[in-house]
Chain A
Amino acid sequence: MKQDSTTKASPPPAKGKASGGDLALRFSDISMVFPDGTHALDNVSFDLHEGEFLTIVGPSGCGKSTILKIASGLLEASRGDYQLSDDNIGYVFQDATLLPWRKVNKNVELFAELHGHDKNTRSAVAARAIETVGLSGFENHYPARLSGGMRMRVSLARSLTLSPSLFLFDEPFGALDEITRQRLNEEVIRLFLERRFAGLFITHSIAEAVFMSTRVMVMSARPGRIVKTVDIPFQYPRTADLRYEPEFARISGELSEALAEGHA
């Protein structure tokens, strides 16, 4: 899977389903019914390749997070198959989920520690990740002393340490103020362009989805089904002005219509 040496030198293609990168994740007719009878997902299928940034929008409670939990192996689907090319996954939760008793650097080191890397490797990797997210100088702070945005940066840094080829983002910046949230979204896109991982992002903001992604999927209310998939044609790097382009508005409108239909 990873040994495949097809060229992927060019920046992530902005167009088309055939993105050229290796298959990172495939969902084939995945359904999920929880033991309490909640029907969360209904026949969800999609492919995600490296170099693609796929965003799922949907009403709250439609099972978006369940998709990520199944992809990461935290949950087992009731029906259907999924294929994962590499189980080295970066998973950024809604909440920063930092261990409060560990300082920033020790939090960032956690995954490397759990995978048994030695101390020197760990701290080198952590230092690099902390620098990447712009938190140099805060290594010795406890999470309690950081702002919400900074905590999410630490969480991001932590997930970078193992250089995953697939990144799952579960409404990661939903609790932050608009400006911080936008800045962090830009950060994520910057990392995406740098590392060309496969990104699977979840949000309920259409504007955020269109701005960030190469592809957007709309999910219906429970049981979650994919009601629409739209390829986003804009080239990276994208700037804030993009939000005022007619094409941006047109796509957003199309998605929002699908969202409203799926909600009914």
Chain B
Amino acid sequence: MTPARGGSARRAVLPTIGPPIAVFFGFLGLWYFYSGVILDERERNIVLPYFHKVIDVAFLDAENRSELLAAMGISTIISVIGLVIAILLGVGIAVAMSQAQWIEQSFYPYAVLLQTVPILALVPLIGLRFGFGITARVIVCVLIALFPIITNTLFGLKSAKSSHHDLFTLHNAGRFTRLTKLQLPAALPAMFTGFQISAGLSIVGAIVGGFFFGRGDAGLGIRIKEYSARLKVEQLIGSIILSALLGVFAFWLFGYLKHRLTSEWDESGAERRT
């Protein structure tokens, strides 16, 4: 079993890694073309320096690098705390909604509302109430990450087949047994899809929160604000790169966890891959 899985995973990785690398080099080509051919030297230094110069200034300079990495560390911590809270809260809300129609009907519209209100409009309110520290930024993360967890978990909990429910009914299974032995396992793949989306959003939340509040421990958001104000373009781009990498890592991590936990048995997933 294990070797077969490793083999198929390796086969799956190779073709998926080639094309994105090609796109990356194409992207670099465009970058150099834009900064080298379209921009003159003065513009280049303000708008878009060469890629190697960005690497040189932002990451090879020890002082700048540690400043950026420290910022990334703080953003990571905030988004992880936010995500964990969002997962606990979101799964809890979805479970409650799955247990009673009236709970779903009463609260679902507000979950949608949460998603449709521009988060930037809420950020100042949060700042006024909770200050500009870690707490406020974590709250931004939770608000932005909550909705996909609720909807995906709820969808997953409802995806348990009616024939499976019949099976549990025939053997007089109670609500809790049904939830733990049927609905939650059935929901697992969908839940991880939700976590995957929300992990990226939580990082966005941490950065947006920091950017907006602009005070407290300097995360990537605060640094982005500062670098753009002081025209430190290389470091600005460097922090954008780190934000992107953080998001990609979170996305990959939850994809990997989902694969580990469900790929052996999840038929829908297996069909999609082939």
Contacts and interface: CB of A to CB of B under 8 A. Distances in A.
Q: Per DSSP, are chain B's interface residues mostly helix, strand or loop, or mixed?
A: helix
Contact of B170 (A91, A100, A101): A91
Contacts of A89: 170
A144 B267 contact: yes
Interface stretch (B97-105, B107-115, B161-169): B161-169
B177 A114 contact: yes
Nearest to A90: B170
A101 B265 contact: yes
Contacts, number: 48
Size range of the chain A interface in the assembly: 20 to 34
Contacts of A234: none
Interface string A154-192: 000000000000000000000000000000000000000
Contacts of B188: 101
A111 B264 CA distance: 23
B164 A144 contact: no
Nearest to A100: B265
B185 interface: yes
A97 to B, nearest CB: 5
Contact of B164 (A74, A99, A115, A143): A99
Interface string A112-125: 01110000000000
B185 A72 contact: no
Nearest to B161: A97
A101 B269 CA distance: 13
Nearest to B160: A99
Interface in A193-224: none
A91 B163 CA distance: 11
A107 to B, nearest CB: 10
A143 B265 contact: yes
Nearest to A158: B167
A114 B265 contact: no
User: What are the 9 A-B residue pairs with the smallest beta carbon separation, nearest first?
Assistant: A114-B171, A142-B265, A101-B185, A97-B163, A100-B265, A144-B267, A101-B265, A114-B173, A144-B265
25 contacts: A73-B170, A74-B166, A74-B169, A93-B163, A97-B163, A97-B166, A99-B181, A99-B182, A99-B185, A101-B185, A101-B186, A101-B262, A110-B167, A110-B181, A114-B168, A114-B171, A114-B173, A114-B177, A114-B181, A115-B171, A142-B264, A142-B265, A144-B265, A144-B267, A144-B270
